[in-house]
Structure 1
Amino acid sequence: MRNKIIFTGGGSTGHVSVNLALIPDFIEDGWTVEYIGSKNGIEKQLISNINEVKYFSISTGKLRRYFDWNNITDIVKVFTGVFQSYLIIRKSKPNVIFSKGGFVSFPVVLGGWLNRVPVVLHESDVTPGLANKLALPFVTIICTTFPETEKYIHSGKSQYIGSIIRQNLKNGNAIQGLKYCGFVSGKPVLLVMGGSLGSQSINLSIRNNLGKLLKKFQIVHICGKGQKDTSIRVKGYKQFEYIEKELPDVMAISNIVVSRAGANSIFEFLFLQKPMILVPLPQKSSRGDQILNAESFKKRGFCYVIQDKDLCKSDFINTIYDVYENRAKYTENMKKACVTDALNELIKLIKAKSKSK
């Protein structure tokens, strides 16, 4: 009988990218791979491209740390999702479940626990998100990306493994990247990323300063779903809502990066030794995880950090110029980090925790 694994996680690319890195190995090793996600989330869009993976949709509700009348209806959605997950897992009988987090993951983790299936959970940020915090009592082990995360977890279940890098990012082709963007060789490339949902503040700051920036850089701007500005058509500036299979090639041509501070992305920049200007999500828009991620990287000399509220200042453009001129300093610090890809270690751990049938 073939071994079987169920993956879960969604709501943003960051909650899916590690799963995308892991899935090919399990398929190649002969496992049956299934995925439980939301009905309309980005995880469904990304996983649907993998023919070997069967996808199950469940009801999802947002878990909030503050009062909101929607909490009442969302709690019903969460419990509906738990029931749906329980039935799917009971019928599927997987050896193990791997959870990347996000709101959709908690019902799956609880459904797995109710079916006595081992659950391996992965936390990318310095501090665990709310879904992962709630899931902690029901998981077998939680794997961490930052070593300092362990002090925020008091269950004795944590294990530091480091960053997970998607294998395809290591094979970027600069010639293909230039062709994809319509850029010329010899002029530096600035990569701008605001996460899968995009960042209005970063998008606006870049577009308001295009004239100045294009004198020095070619700009590839991944601006998020529904956030392209089709009125802008200038040479050397290329917009995309999202890039999937061509991302390694785009990374290969990028000299510096302006980005939010999601853990998966910044560790990929670190692995590829791309000098970073990080603009973490502000506290009012998040739980503050990106602020901690950015500060951790800043302390080690990997990046320059700008707060979201300061993007409108003229110093933002000067900062981009400065980071580019001093890019060798950032690259040298990243080389000293000796970042290793923990993908194989995580794969071994998941298989070790799986129950035999």
Structure 2
Amino acid sequence: MKKLVFTGGHHTSALEVAIALQKEDWQIIWFGHRHSLWGDSSDSAEYREVTAAGFKFCNLYAGKFYRTYNPLKLILIPVGFLQSLLLLLLHRPDGIVSFGGYLAVPTVISGWLLGIPSITHEQTVVAGLANKLISYFVKKIAVSWPESIRYYPKDKTIVTGLPIRPEIITASKSQTRNLIYITGGKNGSHVINKAVFSALPKLLKKYQVIHQTGFRDIKIARSIKHANYETFDYDSAKAINSIKEAAVVISRAGAHITYELGVLSKRCVLIPIPWVSHNEQLKNAQALSSQAIILPQNLLSPSTLVSSIKSALALHPVPLNLPLDGTKNLLQLIKEQFT
């Protein structure tokens, strides 16, 4: 039985691949973060979903360089390297599969020092800071978007597409005409939620709204009683159904949601996180130019949100023909490199 360590910042894609490998009797050990935010005691969506799938989860206390000024967080950088080294010595995997993010850096480099081979997968349109760094230490780099190839060594890089949930691939193109789905990611976005709460009196006159808030604002959302308003913290099945049925999706512009919206040719209003590395969310949003209204966070308000939805409904999406077999392609690459 082959044993692999999975790690990285985009666990939704990684989980699709890990589950497929598990069915073929590969052993997967997950290096991740149990808590999403500094000082937060709540279990992250990553921890909940990975452990629910039956994988061993190792909580990695790693720090990151990018825009980190807290000395306590900076101390976690060497801690993460030491912990990764010890965990890899303990488990002795045959290989490491990275999905980018700051947790991948100590894991991949520690693996390289121990002679454990790695591959990494890039989800975003541009090169993430972590993936750019570990590209020197991995055997292969898989990318989701064809335009991402230029950021990495050509002899190492292959376009696989993004592993996405099968329910998205088989989704019907039908939608509910006046349904708006609002999401801020699995943990929600307080900035988006605040604008939505203020805009609801206008929105609910014209639209049916499904609002995924994350855990921080769910109490406020549940206090709103209206026939056209439905809310939930986070639920993968509800999220998928809402994305499929919505006429317009309001979201951040993370790698996974952007790719899924592109596959579905779904009209959307995208509010990129402005402080992410290399402005990658803005670049993700720009890849959906025919189907997305980009609303910068500094211009977000109840009125701009309402007007952006109206503008999005008038768009005519052009299909992007993105690869739909990302999981299959990445599985093939893993087997080629680790068997």
Normalized against structure 1, the TM-score is what? 0.84
Give the secondary structure class of the aligned counterpart of 1:127: coil
Post-superposition shift, 1:156? Answer: 4.4
Give the secondary structure class of the aligned counterpart of 2:235: coil
Structure 1 position 217 matched with structure 2 position 207: yes
CA contact (8 A) 1:37 1:105 kept: no
Partner of 2:250 in structure 1?
Answer: 258
Partner of 2:100 in structure 1?
Answer: 101
Cα gap change, 1:319/1:69 in structure 2, threshold over 3 Å: closer, same or farther? closer
CA contact (8 A) 2:263 2:321 kept: no
In 2, the alpha carbon distance for the partners of 1:290 and 1:212 equals 28
Instruction: Say which of 285, 288, 293 aligns to 1:294.
Output: 285
Q: Percent identity?
A: 28
In 2, the alpha carbon distance for the partners of 1:312 and 1:199 equals 14
Instruction: Say which of 316, 320, 336 aligns to 2:309.
Output: 320
Counterpart of 1:262, as a letter, is G
Cα gap change, 1:126/1:341 in structure 2, threshold over 3 Å: closer, same or farther? same
CA contact (8 A) 2:128 2:277 kept: no
* 1:270-349 to 2 correspondences below 5 Å: 270-282=262-274, 284=275, 287-298=278-289, 301-312=290-301, 314-324=303-313, 326=314, 329-330=316-317, 333-334=318-319, 337=321, 339-349=323-333
* 1:40-189 to 2 correspondences below 5 Å: 40-41=35-36, 42=44, 43-51=46-54, 53-65=55-67, 68-70=69-71, 73-154=72-153, 156-170=155-169, 188-189=178-179
Give the secondary structure class of the aligned counterpart of 1:48: helix
Deviations 1:140-177 (A, max 9, x none): 11211222222223474322222321224346699xxx
Counterpart of 2:214, as a letter, is G
Cα gap change, 1:4/1:223 in structure 2, threshold over 3 Å: closer, same or farther? same
CA contact (8 A) 1:310 1:316 kept: no
Give the secondary structure class of the aligned counterpart of 2:236: coil
Post-superposition shift, 1:265? Answer: 0.6
Q: Kindly report the root-mean-square deviation, in angstroms, between the aligned alpha carbons of the 2 structures.
A: 2.4
Give the secondary structure class of the aligned counterpart of 1:219: strand
Partner of 1:178 in structure 2?
Answer: none
Normalized against structure 2, the TM-score is what? 0.88
Post-superposition shift, 1:293? Answer: 1.1
Cα gap change, 1:83/1:337 in structure 2, threshold over 3 Å: closer, same or farther? same
Partner of 2:29 in structure 1?
Answer: 34
Cα gap change, 1:209/1:313 in structure 2, threshold over 3 Å: closer, same or farther? closer
Partner of 1:204 in structure 2?
Answer: 194
Post-superposition shift, 1:338? Answer: 5.3
CA contact (8 A) 1:82 1:111 kept: yes
Aligned residues: 328
Structure 1 position 247 matched with structure 2 position 239: yes
Cα gap change, 1:322/1:80 in structure 2, threshold over 3 Å: closer, same or farther? closer
CA contact (8 A) 1:63 1:130 kept: no
Deviations 1:8-60 (A, max 9, x none): 124xxxx1111111112101111111111124342222211112x11122221
The answer for unaligned runs of 5 or more in structure 2 is 37-43
In 2, the alpha carbon distance for the partners of 1:105 and 1:236 equals 42
Deviations 1:270-311 (A, max 9, x none): 2223211111112x465411111111221xx13221211222
The answer for unaligned runs of 5 or more in structure 1 is 175-184
Deviations 1:84-127 (A, max 9, x none): 22222233222221111222221111222122122111111122
Cα gap change, 1:288/1:54 in structure 2, threshold over 3 Å: closer, same or farther? same
Give the secondary structure class of the aligned counterpart of 2:14: helix
